DNA sequence: AAATGTGATGTTATTATATTACATCATTGC
DNA sequence: GCAATGATGTAATATAATAACATCACATTT
């Protein structure tokens, strides 16, 4: 069973196509790369991709990587509910792979910090840049 | 004494102009906003801005906000040396203001996490989104 | 069935952000 | 002077995202 099957029935055709493209890729894709991959399925304009992405991100099935202007399929069962956006990424600058991490200690520290400066936190963008274990070993 | 005077002598004319624009602004500016502000000083093309920004970011006088595609003057004496990129931002989604923070505990947690997953960290992008104390009070 | 409302789609054009490629100029060292 | 280097200027292009508007599909109501 695929990891996003549960919600998959609710997705529209375009949303399924975009979700499929991101699931098949083993790394982040830009909206325009997705568009190109889906041209054979009838996609013709960026908006078709962006509209689907908007919904998928909202559902927690896809995450947007701000520092890459790219999108990646959620690597967990899906980041719905509480976990939504309580997530961070380790982006390998060598191979391009992205590891999605959840770390309660880090998130707690962030929340404490925000509270200390009276900042009402709605979302944390945390993207680590560097080299993954695999590339490091080479 | 302005906060970037120390290194200011090393800056070229264009770098000084861009630095000035960012220092006067009390918030982040996009490269194209900077370009528009500097047209009266002879700027004509985006590259003039981007080239200056690249150097200023390198010097730690300016930070790039990945989630905004914008740039902000460093709010500390300047983030050169060790502190470079050991910095995070609280971005108010209501008024647009940005607070630059340094938090050793958070940075340590990030480093530990990276080390735990054998990720060789080169830079942390940490941008908190939400509402600042001022906007919150209104 | 006709009328209406709603959400998803399609399409074109435009705006915003960033880089490539190449020419020119200024300064320094020889 | 002349070469080397780094800064600058300029045009064109690439990449990312949104605005505006038309249409379609389907369900609900009358």
* pLDDT tens figures, A82-98: 556 789 999 999 999 99
- Report yes or no: A134 and A95 within 8 Å, Cβ to Cβ: yes
Q: Which residues of B touch A131 (CB under 8 A)?
A: 119-120, 122
Mean pLDDT of all residues in B92-100: 95
End-to-end CA distance of chain B: 34
Q: Nearest residue (Cα to C1') for C8?
A: A12
B102 at A interface, C-beta within 8 A: no
Q: Do A129 and B131 touch (CB under 8 A)?
A: no
- On average, the pLDDT of chain B sits at 90
Strand partners, A66: none
Place of tokens 């050169």: B80
**What's the whole-model pTM score?**
0.91
Residue B82, pLDDT above cutoff 60: no
- Mutate which of B86, B115, B119, B137 to disrupt the A interface (most A C-beta within 10 Å)? B119
pLDDT of residue B24: 96
Mean pLDDT of all residues in A16-40: 96
* φ and ψ of A70, to 5 deg: -145, 170
Helix or strand run (H / E) with residue B77: none
- On average, the pLDDT of chain A sits at 90
A107 at B interface, C-beta within 8 A: no
Q: Do A119 and B93 touch (CB under 8 A)?
A: no
Q: Which residues of B touch A122 (CB under 8 A)?
A: 93, 129-131
Q: What's the residue count for chain B?
A: 138
């Amino acid at each position: 069973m695929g990891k996003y099957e549960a919600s998959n029935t609710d997705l529209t055709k375009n949303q399924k196509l975009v979700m499929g493209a991101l699931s098949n890729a083993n790394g982040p894709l830009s909206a325009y790369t997705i568009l190109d991959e889906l041209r054979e399925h009838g996609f013709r304009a960026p908006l078709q991709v962006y509209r689907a992405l908007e919904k998928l991100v909202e559902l927690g099935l896809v995450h947007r990587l701000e520092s890459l202007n790219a999108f990646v399929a959620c690597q967990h069962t899906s980041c719905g509910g509480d976990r939504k956006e309580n997530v961070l990424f380790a982006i390998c600058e060598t191979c391009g792979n992205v590891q999605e991490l959840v770390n309660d200690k880090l998130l707690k520290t962030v929340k404490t910090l925000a509270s200390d400066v009276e900042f009402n936190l709605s979302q944390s963008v945390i993207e680590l840049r560097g080299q993954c274990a695999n590339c490091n070993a080479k």
